[in-house]
Amino acid sequence: MIDLHCHSTFSDGSLTPEELIDAAEKIRLTALALTDHDTVAGLPRFLAAAVNRKVRAIPGIELSVDSAAGVMHMLGYWIDIENPDLLRQIEWVRNGRAMRNRAILEKLNELGMTMTEEEVRAVAGEDVVGRPHFGQVMIQKGYAKNKDEVFNRWLGTGKPAYVDRERLTAEAAVRLVVQAGGVAVLAHPFTIGLPEDELSALLADLTAIGLSGMECYYSEHSTDLTKKALALAERHNLVPTGGSDFHGDVSPDIRLGVGFGGLHVPDEVLPALEARRPR
């Protein structure tokens, strides 16, 4: 069993890269991909921690991208973490995120939810600050009861403290991953909210420029959604990948490797995906 989607303290997860390898080995995963949001900073530690271990570490990233349908997420596997174009684009995204974070902080303070940048940074760990970290401080201070209230009332799209930010286009993200020697995979496709025919058209467009896979096995997919995803992947000759989208304490009900308990990503996904690596 493998898990190709998880996050560490370098984005919005609660476990360090080393702790993720320990946890994966404990539950006998054969492979684990670290896919932090818009950063590769945790990958050297992740890969080093897997040396001489039973679990295979796959270097990855999850890029936030824009499309006509709204915000999407693009996964990249086996990327060259020293690729200058990749690093330059990540820095551009991170600068936009930093500006957004300052604007969110201002809005929350104006709404009477007093907090400082230092308090948010303290819960963020090593690297990228994002909305979940603001949410953690809000919960700690009693401004919200839980993550659902944080996003449904305050930080979700269109809510009083929401601020948009600059992102790559989906097409640019696919090309960037491929140019960096990686394999591009569309993450959790049904969260985009497209009707099936429009999602299929999007997949056709992205496949034409290098998309190699689609996340079919996912923690929040029902049996019916998994079947629909597998059928779409087959229609567009995409590798059906999968992962838990594990964050640790941020989403405690989602467990590494098994999601809510019923997730099972087959081992044979990995060689099929690896065969799509640029030569």
Q: Which two tokens stand for residue 187?
A: 């993450």
Whole-number average pLDDT of the chain:
93
In the block, which residue shows the tokens 């065969």? 275
Residue length, the chain? 279
3-class state of residue 179 by DSSP: helix
Query: Is the C-alpha dihedral spanning 221, 187, 136, 107 positive or negative?
Result: negative
DSSP annotation of 60 reads E
Q: Is 154 exposed, middle or buried (0-12, 13-18, 19+ CB in 10 A)?
A: buried
In this structure, of 15-19, 126-130, 164-168, 205-209, the range with the lowest mean pLDDT score is: 126-130
Which pTM was predicted?
Answer: 0.84
Q: How many helices (H) and strands (E) does the chain have?
A: 10, 8
3-class state of residue 142 by DSSP: coil
Average pLDDT over residues 201-219: 97
Q: What is the dihedral of CA 141, 146, 152, 155, to 10 degrees?
A: 40
CATH number of 2-82+181-274: 3.20.20.140
Average pLDDT over residues 235-244: 98
Which has the higher per-residue pLDDT, 121 or 19? 19
Residue 69, pLDDT > 80, answer: no
Residue 167, pLDDT > 70, answer: yes
pLDDT score for 126: 59
Contact 130, 96 (CB under 8 A): no
Residue 127, pLDDT > 60, answer: no
Which has the closest alpha carbon to 209: 177, 161, 187, 250?
A: 177
Q: Where are the chain's structural domains?
A: 2-82+181-274
pLDDT, tens digit, 9 for 90 and up, residues 76-109? 999 999 999 999 999 988 888 888 899 999 999 9
Average pLDDT over residues 216-232: 96
